[in-house]
Amino acid sequence: MTIEQQISELRAEWKACFELAERRQIEAELEIAQAELIVALAEQDGSIDAEPPF
């Protein structure tokens, strides 16, 4: 599954969820997936270097 697919599925789960605790957990997972996507895209276009500095 791609990060984009994961984000899409998490958004759908979040919209369908009515329990507050579960909704918050899905929201946290969604934020992590979105951050991973941002990093992956930045690595692809060369705007960041993911290699450790040492």
HSE-CB of 52 using CA atoms within 13 angstroms:
1
What size, in residues, is the chain? 54
Residue extents of the structural domains in the chain: 3-43
Q: What is the pLDDT of residue 47?
A: 81
Average pLDDT value for residue range 4-28: 96
Q: What is the pLDDT of residue 23?
A: 96
Residue 9 pLDDT > 80, yes or no?
Answer: yes
- Interatomic CA distance for residues 45 and 29, integer angstroms: 25
Q: What is the pLDDT of residue 29?
A: 97
- Interatomic CA distance for residues 30 and 42, integer angstroms: 18
Q: Which tens digits make up the pLDDT trace of 17-52? A: 999 999 999 999 999 999 999 999 998 888 877 777
Q: What is the pLDDT of residue 45?
A: 85
